[in-house]
Chain A
């Protein structure tokens, strides 16, 4: 069966510091991968999605970037965090193995102080 993991679960970072959130999917190949952000009390906003290694599409211009160095690895990064980057970040995947249903990781809480 397929599983998705992301880490760290919780992160407190000062303004101006870098960020790296990692996500891996197991049990499938060539998944579509997504990063969503959920600000406090709001819905989910798609940040990035990837249909293959090195292929990244950005939905919203922002202070963040994404990379996909391996087929089942998706990384969300920032060189210098802003206060507005605080929120709950969710990695997700879908693909033929899941019947196109999107499944989510456990999420990562980022607080920028």
Chain B
């Protein structure tokens, strides 16, 4: 069975600084997708970034980027120039092919003004 592990229950960062959230996963598949979702206090799940396993280039979306290490099964999220609006729970998720997502337990990110 696939598992997703987020070893940091809580993280904090000073506003305008950079923070990295960790995620590892376990799979025997070669074709899959990885995601980071953000869940602000409103509780809605918002897609932050997506990575296809067959792509070697790390995905980037504005201030958000990932460090995808396929051999190590690692998928970390880097948030640059942190803003107060980035405060949220962040979930890493794994998806084989087009099937259902498996989520990690989340990391609560606090932004310090």
Contact = CB atoms under 8 A, between A and B. Distances in A.
B103 A43 contact: yes
Contacts of B43: 38, 88, 107, 109
Interface in B47-72: 47, 50
Given A90-B45, A104-B44, A107-B43, A44 B103 contact: yes
Nearest to B98: A100
Contacts of B35: 101-102
Nearest to A104: B45
Contact of B95 (A95, A100, A103): A100
A interface, over-half SS:
strand
Interface in A70-94: 88, 90, 92, 94
A46 B106 contact: no
B97 A42 contact: no
Interface size class of B (residues with CB under 8 A): 20 to 34
Given A100-B33, A101-B35, A46 B47 contact: no
Contacts of B42: 106
Interface in B86-105: 91, 93, 95, 97-98, 100-105
B103 A101 contact: no
A44 B95 CA distance: 14
A44 B35 CA distance: 14
A52 to B, nearest CB: 14
Nearest to A88: B43
B100 A43 contact: no
Contact of B100 (A34, A104, A107, A109): A34
A44 B91 contact: yes
B98 A43 contact: no
B91 A43 contact: yes
Nearest to A43: B105
